[in-house]
Structure 1
Amino acid sequence: MLVFVIPLKSPQVSRSWERVTKLFERCIKSVCNQTSPNFRVVVVCHEKPKIAFTHPHITYLKVNFPPANETNPVAQGNTDKGRKILKGLIYAERFYPTHTMAVDADDCVSKKLAEFVNRNSNSNGWFINRGYKYQEGSQYIYLKRSNFYKMCGTSNILRYDLNNIPEQAEYNRGYGYYKYYIDHEQVRNILKSNFNAIKPLPFAGAVYVLETGEHLFYDSKRLKFNIFNRRLLRKSIINEFGLYNLSSSVLTTF
C-alpha cells in the first residue's frame, strides 16, 4: 500500500487561493489516477479546498497550528510544510502502508506509482532521478534526465519505517526539526549512510510544474530548458500524469 501525503498551504499565505485550489485539484486528480486501487491520499491543510473532484481514497486532515507568517516567508513556509508532512505521515499509519510519498500540491505524478510499489513492497524505496519540467500553459514539456530529486519535492518514495517519525511528535518546533521531511535532495544520501539505500525509480515519476506563482523557493536556473529534451505535450504524457491546461477543466491535447 502506497500512501501519498500532500501538504497544502493555507489561504492566509497564498498569493491566490483560487490559483492554489486549481493547482491542487489537478494534482489530486493526477494522484488518484493510479492504475492500482491499492493507495490512499492524506491531504493536510488548514482549510479544505472547495473542488468538485472527490474520491473515496482521499482523507482531508485539518490542522489547528498557526499558519506560516511573513516574518521569514521561506523558513516559515518550510516549517509549515514540514509540520503538515509529519502530521500526514503519522495519520497514514492507520492504512498500514508499505511506503509513503510526499507530493507537492502543484505537481503531477505518474499513474504507475502505486502499482509499481505494490509489486516491489519489500524495497527500501526509490528516488525520482528522471522526471519532467513543465512551464504552466506551454504546449511543450521537458525531460529532466537525471537529478530530478534535487529540484522537486515530489521525488521520494520511502518504506514507511524509514520516515524516521519521532515517538512523540512536536509541532511547535522550527525548520531544523523538519529538515528530513523537507530537504528532499538529502534523503537519498542520509539513507545510504545509514545502510538503507534507496534506488532510482526506473521510469519518469513526476512532473515539476514551474511558474505557478506559489513556490516557496524560486530558482531561475530551474527554468532553463534544453531544447534537446523538449517534447510535445502529447496525449500519452497527459494521460499518464493528468497534466491538463488549468484554463480548461478537461484534458487538453496538442
Structure 2
Amino acid sequence: MSNSLSSLKEQLDQVEEFFQETAHETRINSESDKQKPEIAFAISFKSKKVSHDWQKVQDNLGLTLRSLLNNTDQNFRIIIAGHEKPNIEELNDKRITWLSVKFPPPLNARRATRDKLRKRMVIGAFLRKNGFSGYFMPLDADDWIHYRFVEYIRSLPISNALIINKGFMVNVLQSEIWKQDQFYKYCGSSTVFNFSNGDFPKSSKRSDINKTAFKWATKNHVKVREFVKNHTLVDYPFVTYILAHGDNLSIIQGLRDNRASAEHHNGVGEELGDWIYEYFKVWKE
C-alpha cells in the first residue's frame, strides 16, 4: 500500500476546491440551473432468495440511500424495484418510490443479472407513465455516491450521457481503497443517461424496450462508450464501489473474489480511512 495516506483524500478535496472556485458563477446561473435535468436513480434490489445475508443486503441499501439523500442538490428522485421490500427507515423518505415487481425471483445467482435488468425495465416504464424526462442513472444497492454528485452533474453542460471515468473501489475485508481508472468497465453505477420521456419504454417488455433509447441502459456497461455517442467523461471519483462486504453479486457469480485489490487493478492502494465517510455521508458499521 502507498505511504501517502492522504493522496486519495486530496483528490476529493479538489472537488471542494472546484465548487469554491465556481461559487460566484453558480449564484449567477442559479435560475438557469433550475431548468437543468433532474436525476432519477434506478435501483434494482436483489431478492431475498438469492441473498446470502438478507440483513446485510438491507443495511447496504440503507447506506447507499443515505449517500444519496444527503446530497447538497435535492433535484433527484430514487426508484427502487424489488420483490421483498426491505425493512429500513430510509424507505420512508418522500424522495423514494418502491415498486413491487410481479415476476418471480431468480432461481439462483447465475440468473440474478437478468433479474436486475428486468427490474430496471420496470422502472423505465414507470418513469414513462409518470411523465419523467431527465437524467437516468442505474445504481447498485451497495455503491456509495458523493454528497455533491447531483450538484456537480447538474452544473455540467447537458450531454447525452455522463460516464464516470474515475471512481473509488473499496475492499472492506482488507480495509483497502484505491482509485480506479476506466471505472465504467468495473462498476455498473457509472453512467448517467439523458432521456426524454419518449425515450423511456411504454412497458417493461423487451419488444418495447428495443424501440427506445432506453435500451442503452440495459446494455453491458463495459462498452458504454462505444454505443453512447456525444458523451461526457467525469474524472472526479464521485462513486465508490464496495467489494467483499459478504453479498456482492459479482463475487457470488465468480466474476471477482474477496482478494480483489489495487494491485490486481493496476492501482495504488491506501488504507481505508474515516475521511471516506465524510465525503460519501456514510459510516463504518
- Is the TM-score greater than 0.5? yes
1:85 Cα deviation (Å)? 1.0
The amino acid of 1:120's aligned partner reads L
Q: Rg: which structure is higher?
A: 2
CA distance in 2, matches of 1:92, 1:202: 29
Amino acid at match of 2:162: W
Q: Do residues 55 (structure 1) and 90 (structure 2) align?
A: no
Counterpart position of 2:162? 126
1:64 to 78, 102, 105: 102
- Aligned partner (choices 178, 185, 189) of residue 142 of structure 1: 178
Taking the aligned partners of 1:163 and 1:127, their CA distance within structure 2 comes to 22
Report the secondary structure of 2:228's partner residue.
helix
Match in the other structure for 1:184: 221
Q: Deviations over 1:199-248 (max 9, x none)?
A: 11131121111113323333347813149733344454312213422xx3
Between the aligned partners of 2:42 and 2:198, the Cα distance in structure 1 is 12
What count of residue pairs does the alignment treat as equivalent?
235
The two structures have a TM-score, normalised by structure 2, of: 0.73
Query: 1:8-58: CA deviations, max 9, x gaps?
Result: 011122111111111111111112121101111001111210012342211
AA in 2 matched with 1:67: P
- The residue that corresponds to 2:112 in the other structure is 77
Aligned residue number for residue 16 of structure 2:
none
Q: Which consecutive unaligned segments of at least 5 residues does structure 2 have?
A: 1-37, 209-214
Q: State yes or no: 1:231 paired with 2:267.
A: no
RMSD: 2.8
Matched, 1:205 2:259: no
Residue by residue over 1:167-204, the C-alpha shift from the partner in whole angstroms, topping out at 9 and shown as x without a partner, is: 4431799xxxx785251112221113xxxx21111311
Match of 2:151 in 1: 115
| Per-residue CA distance 1:122-162 (angstroms, 9 max, x = gap) | 22121111011111255442111x11110111111110249
Question: 1:86 deviation in Å?
Answer: 1.4
Say whether the 8 Å CA contact 1:102–1:153 is kept in structure 2.
yes
Q: Pick closer, same or farther for the CA change 1:204–1:41 going to 2, 3 Å.
A: same
Aligned counterpart in structure 2 of residue 44 of structure 1, from 66, 78, 81: 81
Equivalence for 1:27: 64
> Tell me, what secondary structure is at the counterpart of 1:99?
strand
Asked if 1 retains the 8 angstrom alpha-carbon contact of 2:64 and 2:144, the reply is yes
**Structure 1 residues 16 and 171, CA gap change in structure 2 (3 angstroms):** farther
Structure 1 gap segments, 5+ residues each = 249-254
The secondary structure found in structure 1 opposite 2:112 is helix
Change (3 A) 1:209 1:29: same
